[in-house]
Structure 1
Amino acid sequence: MEEDFAVDNTTKLKAYTWCQEYLGGVWTQIDLEDFHIRDLSLGKSTNKHYICSLPPHRSPIFGEPRTTLLRLFKHPVLANKRAKCTTEPGEVLLRVYGEIFFEGETPLLDTVIFSLLSERRQAPKLYGVFSEGRLEEFIPSRALRTDELSNPELSRIIAGKLAGFHQLQLPLCKTPRWLDQVLDKWFNKALGLTFEDDSNQQFMKQIMAFDLDEERIFIKRLLSQTKSPVVFGHNDCQEGNILLTSGENTDEKNLILIDYEYSSYNFREFDLANHFVEWSMNYCIKDAPYFSLKPEDFPSREQQLIFIRAYLAANREMGVYQPGCHGDSADEEEAILREVKRFCPVSHFVWALWSIVQAKISHTTFGYMEYAVARFKEYFRHKALIPLDMLPSTADQRNHGTTDESASTQPIDQRRAIVT
């Protein structure tokens, strides 16, 4: 079948087995050749995504043809029996974790977060969890396109969704240490890598020309002075992780935030800044390096304010007051805009390091090293836009070659950030 050609036999067999074991019912009654699987993976995604489905002529009950079932279900007794038996879905989303996902506590935390969100109906239904991935409810939908992020109405809805996500109270560590952890982990891993092919070697030489350790220390000093509130952050709110369900209208209930593998308690403005920088990046390019980055597409001040005002309005509707945000609305908006300037370069630096690691371990066809170089260049561009009065106080020492890591080693729970 045409849809199966893009999926290798090993993957199809694994998927078939998982669906039989975790879904049961009619899934155990179909042969491998009747099992449908379609690859949905796109762009720089860490994980692989597939739609697994029953053959069109099968039903989630009894294995009867659908025409027969339509007739049988008119009988009230059989209709009641159907309601009791149709527990397994006809199609599901299979998520297979990528290589970088298996570091540290990531698989456990991701499973906990997804389970909690699923129970609260903030995420698709969870059907099965196993070491290599999970089975989720498949929601007919499509990911947003990059150009749609600048649509004012959609931008307001995304802001409201993100505000709701930020108000989730989960039994996880409230200390905002995610950025510290990924900065160190991905920095150490990335700079210890070697590449065999000439192309990646050249890109690595280009990257190593930057003093990345000095920039990492600068970022930690920058973070130590943030006044951003701490919220439960998505940390990867880009168009590929925002689904528009069936129907092209922009009604709020039709937008869903997905993919929580990087979610954690974190600084609020990182999520906003990270979303804004994604306006500049398109991952649906068919030719190598399979992405484009257009700095001119970064949202203007007015476009950012549309998002920020909708975000704050959603908080007010939920009856939420976030410490650290005070004064009149104009002051609050300006304070957020300033903090966004702090976190834009941080976003670029973090995902550039991530991409170097991906270039070594990922099997996804994507220009990871080109992406890393592009994001490092954007890091320096956005770094230059940070207001002078926001720069770390030790910056003048750094410019004279003095290395002072006191700020980077300061316990983050002693920094000036407040958990909402």
Structure 2
Amino acid sequence: MLSSISHENINFDPNEQDIESIVLNFVSNSLKQNWIKSNSSLTIKKLTDGLSNILFAVYSHENNGVVVKIYGKNSDLIVDRQAEIRYMIYLAQFHTSPSILLTFNNGFIYEYLSGSPISNDDEKKSLLIARKLAEFHSIPLIDKQVKGQLVEKLRHYINLLNGTNEELYKRIKLSLSSYLNDISWLKITEDINKIEEIIDKKNSKWSNLTIVVCHNDTQCLNFLYDEKKTNKISLIDFEHCSRNFWLFDVFNHFIEYAGLDNEEPDYDNKYPKRNKQKQWLEIYLSNALFLNDKFEKQMSIDELCDLCDCLRAPIHLYWSLWSFLEALLNHQSMDKFDYVKYGRYRLKQYEKYKQDFFSSVN
């Protein structure tokens, strides 16, 4: 699939003083689209300046353009870029991902999708997300594998942090790791092994849950709402895409209602009450075609909610480890957001709920 997309042998330095002009010229010269007539007809706007990516939108007029995605420094250790591109190409066939138009050495260009990110407190649009996510999960798996990748992802993160995978320590100054010296990577490693045992236990609820193509980063900001096309929701940012329980996406979405306004989000008060969860799930289940004859159809919505509350622990652990890695691999990011503090807070949330998960197999 990758061979069908054009590739340019070029690297972009996001810190280049004139990076916007460089990107603009590259798009104009590399993409021979009808809407590109000359440099003067193009507009460029920085969309994000994050850790994992730097995004620029280039467009000739409203709702007609492309996004240039430049990978963040060292982000290849955290994100499988080939898998990201492979998923986007696959999902585009189902009109669920923007099409990738061109790749370059440290990024790629894809179609611009119109719309605005959905706010965490917009309950009406959140219910539209329920339908969209159900449709997304109904897409067939990209391969014949049916085993989820949650533990695989957790283990990849912890192996970077505990030194089993030495690549992290080849790229950072060892002094930076002193910020995390008090964290027991061994204990977390043992917990991940325990999580795997619970998920894989034969005939348990977890082993019977349906595995789907999961987005795995279902915060509201990754859903765009197009005001001009009533009820149209688009999904963006497929870096964390993998095989997983469909319930991971659902309850990750609920957890992320707390937002990222500070390093200690209010997870307790922002987490939706049971009646709101059930309302959301009723819409989801009515659109989840993949569940027609699955194990979950035998469960009540309350039972699903009970089970999924237990998922809070591994979800918090996932984002805690991710946050520590982001801080270590790009220390300059700490000037904008304290990823170590955020990672520690999510680790506390994991500790708070982990026994719920460990006892869920009984």
Shorter-chain TM-score bucket reads 0.7 to 0.9
Q: Does 1:239 align with 2:212?
A: no
Cα distance in 1, alignment partners of residues 59 and 87 from structure 2 = 26
TM-score (norm 2): 0.80
Cα distance in 2, alignment partners of residues 207 and 300 from structure 1 = 32
Cα distance in 2, alignment partners of residues 292 and 105 from structure 1 = 24
Higher CA-based Rg:
1
Amino acid at match of 1:183: L
**Of 312, 335, 338, which residue of structure 1 is paired with 2:306?**
338
Correspondence for 1:84: none
**Of 256, 259, 269, which residue of structure 1 is paired with 2:237?**
259
Q: In 2, are the aligned partners of 1:140 and 1:246 still within 8 Å (CA)?
A: no
Q: In 1, are the aligned partners of 2:139 and 2:213 still within 8 Å (CA)?
A: yes
- 1:10 deviates by 5.2
Q: 1:64-75 counterparts in 2 under 5 A? A: none
Structure 2 residue ranges without an equivalent (≥5): 1-13
Cα distance in 2, alignment partners of residues 10 and 208 from structure 1 = 44
Amino acid at match of 2:55: H
Question: Structure 1 vs Structure 2: percent identity of aligned residues?
Answer: 21
Cα distance in 1, alignment partners of residues 177 and 120 from structure 2 = 27
- 1:110 deviates by 1.5
Q: 1:329-368 counterparts in 2 under 5 A? A: 331-362=299-330, 364=333, 365-368=336-339
Q: Does 1:123 align with 2:97?
A: yes
- 1:137 deviates by 2.1
2:48 partner SS: coil
Q: Does 1:46 align with 2:52?
A: yes
**Size of the alignment, in residue pairs?**
334
**Of 164, 181, 186, which residue of structure 1 is paired with 2:157?**
186
- Provide, for residues 235-260 of structure 1, a one-character-per-residue CA deviation record: whole Å limited to 9, x for no partner: 1111121111235x9x432x111111
Cα distance in 1, alignment partners of residues 290 and 174 from structure 2 = 55
Q: Does 1:9 align with 2:26?
A: no
- 1:347 deviates by 0.7
- 1:13 deviates by 4.8
Q: Does 1:298 align with 2:271?
A: yes
Cα distance in 2, alignment partners of residues 96 and 222 from structure 1 = 38
Structure 1 residue ranges without an equivalent (≥5): 1-5, 60-88, 393-420
1:283 partner SS: coil
Change (3 A) 1:189 1:252: same
- 1:326 deviates by 3.6
Q: 1:151-166 counterparts in 2 under 5 A? A: 151=123, 153-166=124-137
- 1:108 deviates by 2.0
Q: In 1, are the aligned partners of 2:316 and 2:346 still within 8 Å (CA)?
A: yes
Change (3 A) 1:166 1:45: farther
- 1:369 deviates by 0.7
Correspondence for 1:269: 247
Cα distance in 2, alignment partners of residues 116 and 174 from structure 1 = 15
Correspondence for 2:39: 30
Correspondence for 1:314: 287
Correspondence for 2:81: 107
Correspondence for 2:28: 20
Cα distance in 2, alignment partners of residues 45 and 312 from structure 1 = 35
Change (3 A) 1:119 1:24: same
Amino acid at match of 1:201: S
- Provide, for residues 350-409 of structure 1, a one-character-per-residue CA deviation record: whole Å limited to 9, x for no partner: 111111111122354322111110110111122244484x257xxxxxxxxxxxxxxxxx
Cα distance in 2, alignment partners of residues 387 and 154 from structure 1 = 34
Change (3 A) 1:37 1:263: same
Over the aligned positions, Cα root-mean-square deviation in angstroms equals: 3.2
Cα distance in 2, alignment partners of residues 104 and 196 from structure 1 = 18
Change (3 A) 1:284 1:139: farther
- 1:345 deviates by 0.6
**Of 77, 89, 111, which residue of structure 2 is paired with 1:137?**
111
Cα distance in 2, alignment partners of residues 322 and 94 from structure 1 = 41
- Provide, for residues 42-87 of structure 1, a one-character-per-residue CA deviation record: whole Å limited to 9, x for no partner: 6x66222111235x8xx9xxxxxxxxxxxxxxxxxxxxxxxxxxxx
Q: In 2, are the aligned partners of 1:349 and 1:375 still within 8 Å (CA)?
A: yes
2:251 partner SS: helix
Q: In 2, are the aligned partners of 1:7 and 1:37 still within 8 Å (CA)?
A: no
Change (3 A) 1:292 1:39: farther
- 1:104 deviates by 8.9
Correspondence for 2:199: 223
- Provide, for residues 82-138 of structure 1, a one-character-per-residue CA deviation record: whole Å limited to 9, x for no partner: xxxxxxx95321112234542499222221221222233222243322232222222
1:92 partner SS: strand
Correspondence for 2:181: 205
2:83 partner SS: helix
Amino acid at match of 1:268: W
1:266 partner SS: strand
- 1:167 deviates by 0.8
Cα distance in 1, alignment partners of residues 246 and 98 from structure 2 = 24
Cα distance in 1, alignment partners of residues 39 and 195 from structure 2 = 54
Between 205-214 and 124-133, the greater mean CA deviation after superposition? 205-214
